[in-house]
Amino acid sequence: MSTIAHAHPNIALIKYWGKESIERNIPSSPSISLTINKLTTRTSVRPINDGDRFLFGNEQVEDEKITRFLEFLRHTYAIPPIEILTENNFPTGAGLASSASGFAALVTALNEEFKLGLAQSEQSVLARMGSGSAARSIFGGIVSLEGPTWAAQVLLKQNDWPLDIVVAITDDNIKDVSSSVGMTMSKESSPYYDDWVKSSETDFKNARKYILQRNFDRLIEVAESNCLKMHAVMLSTLPSLFYWNPATVACIKQIRDLREQGIPVFFTIDAGAQVKAVCLPGTGENVAHILSQVPGVLRTISATVGEDAWIET
């Protein structure tokens, strides 16, 4: 009666923050991410007779992004009115890439339900039209997104480089300014925006090289620096985009202290207050324990590298 798909969110190691084209949702710079298991979106799709209906959990919602996305798809594909039922096992809209897993799961479900016959790279391009970061969540492992095709590509598969990931949740609330709105504001007003785009190209090339070499020490430098540069652009946007809270800063400090003590770990933060710690295998448990004691940390989630989006059978 319905098709159910699952997808994981991803955490960006080299960030996408800015659009070359709003209409075609083309990023201004290439990005790299790590698909993260444990956090999952589950989306079911079924044809219905009346107009489209979206349910988030058990609640019917209006979602402008999904409405626009379906409108775009129907230019090419014969998709009847549908009911979309989505659930996340993690906080939504709080900087944990729920739009990435959301659109990746939706495209995966639509492809199956309506026999669209799309290859994963084509699904990635479609998912990008819903949300840029969703292009990367079609795939597991470590994934890049670059032009000219802007279809995500797998750099390393799920088991090619085992890594531990700890997410420190410091705020469960929905962020004040969405990524889509925030990055457009940054392009219009941050004096650092052009330099950010230029330096992201270099960071991307370096990070890709270090990932393929599995050189964790060099990846630490480029990933933390790229993250802080994006937040510098956010801070210098008018009005300023300030996604952190005191616990976010305390986690950054704690992760740097752990590294001083010889623990191989680095931090990254997307558009929200949560801190993600990426560590070499075997260290995640210790890092989770220490981060859970940082004042203001509500809880931690321990994960590893996740797999491709999939259909529930």
Letter for the amino acid at 246?
P
Residue 263 CB, nearest approach to ligand DP6 (Å):
25
Residue 126 CB, nearest approach to ligand DP6 (Å):
13
Q: Does 187 bind ligand DP6 (CB under 6 A)?
A: no
Packing angle of the helix pair 179-189, 193-213 (nearest 10 deg): 120
Residue 94 CB, nearest approach to ligand DP6 (Å):
11
Among 111, 131, 158, 268, binds ligand DP6 (CB under 6 A): 131
Site residues for ligand DP6, 148-167, by CB under 6 A, read none
Measured from the CB atom, is 48 or 181 closer to ligand DP6? 181
Residue 88 CB, nearest approach to ligand DP6 (Å):
14
CA distances from residue 67 to 62, 103, 280 in whole angstroms, order as listed: 8, 12, 41
Q: Is residue 203 within 8 Å of 305, Cβ to Cβ?
A: no
Beta bridge partners of 153: 144
Residue 211 CB, nearest approach to ligand DP6 (Å):
15
Among 271, 275, 278, 287, binds ligand DP6 (CB under 6 A): 271
The span from the CA of 292 to the CA of 276, in Å, is 12
Measured from the CB atom, is 31 or 248 closer to ligand DP6? 31
Which of the ranges 130-138, 198-206, 215-223, 275-283 carries the binding residues for ligand DP6, by CB under 6 A? Answer: 130-138
Site residues for ligand DP6, 9-68, by CB under 6 A, read 12, 15-17, 25, 31
Burial of 271 per CB tally in 10 Å (0-12, 13-18, 19+): buried
Cα dihedral across residues 85, 34, 263, 221: positive or negative: negative
The span from the CA of 109 to the CA of 73, in Å, is 13
Among 18, 91, 132, 306, binds ligand DP6 (CB under 6 A): 132
Query: Site mask, ligand DP6, residues 80-109, x = CB under 6 A?
Result: -----------------x-x----------
Helix (H) or strand (E) holding 151, with range, is: none
Give residue 241's Cα distance to chain centre. Answer: 18
Measured from the CB atom, is 29 or 283 closer to ligand DP6? 29
Give residue 74's Cα distance to chain centre. Answer: 25
Measured from the CB atom, is 99 or 108 closer to ligand DP6? 99
Query: How many positions of this chain bind ligand DP6 (CB under 6 A)?
Result: 15
Give residue 106's Cα distance to chain centre. Answer: 15
Determine the length of the chain. 313
Q: Is 139 left (phi over 0), alpha (psi -120 to 50) or beta?
A: beta
Which of the ranges 69-77, 127-135, 220-228, 304-312 carries the binding residues for ligand DP6, by CB under 6 A? Answer: 127-135
- Which residue ranges make up the site for ligand DP6 (CB under 6 A)? 12, 15-17, 25, 31, 97, 99, 131-133, 179-180, 270-271
